[in-house]
Structure 1
């Protein structure tokens, strides 16, 4: 099932790049990011309500029981997401979608390396070959 959701994520990510490139024509990329964030906030809460995950007692208890480490990492993740969106939108505003998106997907390589360092995930020979191919593909597309 995770593969299904990952494919949907990939499809919607590609739509994001195309739609925002068109939408950024007459607006500052930072303002566009802020507007997008508000809409995402609403959509996220709609999903929470729709999936009936907003049991008021459980939600309050869950929030009370958040430890500092969990909260810190959620906040850091939000900051990283916000910065990623700001830079991504700016890059899309001034660059070609086909190059910006490919460079953005180098996040795969960075994620694998960081997962190895911080989460102790194993990097196998297959993964190393994949990393090399991703970097090579990125260079081929962006330098063309």
Structure 2
């Protein structure tokens, strides 16, 4: 008999959380499996479950592939992401940030002006802190 929960008079009260084959593997093996998947399937795999999304985003190489693919969807093609002037700058900024796209809220912005003791230009430092939800 295959028990998946509490069985009372023909009713199952509590279902156990079922893990698929990829989620039950160690993290390194899951990453290795997702490296063999093409970019479109990787984009779909992120939407399959929250656990798969966490597995994919926790690996930097997979996250970069996903960011490039999503930028290619926005700009129209991968060649535009790599070689167009404006798209190239935007895609490099997105790749260098290496961030999660959802839940980023600015908390505090500060501007500091450092006065030089000797004559010359003042140094202006701008900083911004973010809180991830």
Settle same-fold status: TM greater than 0.5.
no
Q: Identify the structure with bigger relative contact order (alpha carbons < 8 Å, sequence gap 6+).
A: 1
- Which structure would you say has the larger Rg? 2
What is the TM-score of this pair, normalised by structure 2? Answer: 0.28
The structure with the largest helix share of the pair is 1
What is the TM-score of this pair, normalised by structure 1? Answer: 0.26
The structure with the largest strand share of the pair is 2
